[in-house]
């Protein structure tokens, strides 16, 4: 596999083409956070519904590169059903992984593991992080 194929893994392309949980809902109970990256034009909004400390729903909308879009889709699928505490731990771990920082390999990142290839592309760390950073802000 060349470096680039490490980045554009099949699962990522699959999520890019068929994003899960896409589109926001009109509901005051959801918490919403939007991040724009003016240098590349990425624009992502994450919407999260937390009930009794459990993430009941997580949605996204926006536009950007395949990595940012797919990582938003994977994020939402992975987070639904998790407790807020678990979700934060996973998100931090994921963000460390894509930034090529130390991270805990024992924490199960499930499908988000496929973004490990981003580590070889420092210029793309932001792309893989933006949805996850926005997600964390919806929990605050």
Instruction: Please identify, among the stretches 2-10, 25-33, 74-82, 94-102, the one whose residues bind another protein according to the rule CB under 8 A.
Output: 2-10
Q: Does 18 bind another protein (CB under 8 A)?
A: no
Residues contacting another protein: total by CB under 8 A: 22
Rounded distance, CA 38 to CA 4, Å? 25
Interacting residues with another protein between 88 and 127 (CB under 8 A): 121, 123-124, 127
- How deeply is 134 buried, as exposed, middle or buried, from its count of CB atoms within 10 A (0-12, 13-18, 19+)? buried
Q: Does 25 bind another protein (CB under 8 A)?
A: no
| Smallest distance, another protein to C-beta of residue 4, A | 6
Helix ranges restricted to H, 1-140: 3-7, 10-17, 66-79, 84-98, 125-138
Residue 19 per-residue DSSP state: -
| Smallest distance, another protein to C-beta of residue 120, A | 10
Interacting residues with another protein between 30 and 69 (CB under 8 A): 38-43, 63-67
Q: What angle do CA 22, 23, 28 make, to 5 degrees?
A: 125
Nearest to another protein of 42, 57 (CB atom): 42
Rounded distance, CA 69 to CA 60, Å? 9
Residue ranges that bind another protein, judged by CB under 8 A: 2-4, 7-8, 13, 17, 38-43, 63-67, 121, 123-124, 127
């Amino acid at each position: 596999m060349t470096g680039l194929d490490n980045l554009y893994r099949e699962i990522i392309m699959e999520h890019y083409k068929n994003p899960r949980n896409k589109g926001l809902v009109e509901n005051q109970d959801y918490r919403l956070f939007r991040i724009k990256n003016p240098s590349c034009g990425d624009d992502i909004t994450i919407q999260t519904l937390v009930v009794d400390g459990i993430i009941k729903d997580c949605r996204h909308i926006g536009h950007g590169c395949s990595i940012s879009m797919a990582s938003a889709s994977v994020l939402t699928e992975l987070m639904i059903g998790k407790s807020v505490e678990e979700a934060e731990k996973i998100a931090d771990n994921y963000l460390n992984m894509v930034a090529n920082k130390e991270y805990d390999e024992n924490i199960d990142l499930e499908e988000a593991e496929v973004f490990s290839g981003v580590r070889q592309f420092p210029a793309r760390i932001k792309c893989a992080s933006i949805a996850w950073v926005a997600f964390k802000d919806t929990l605050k």
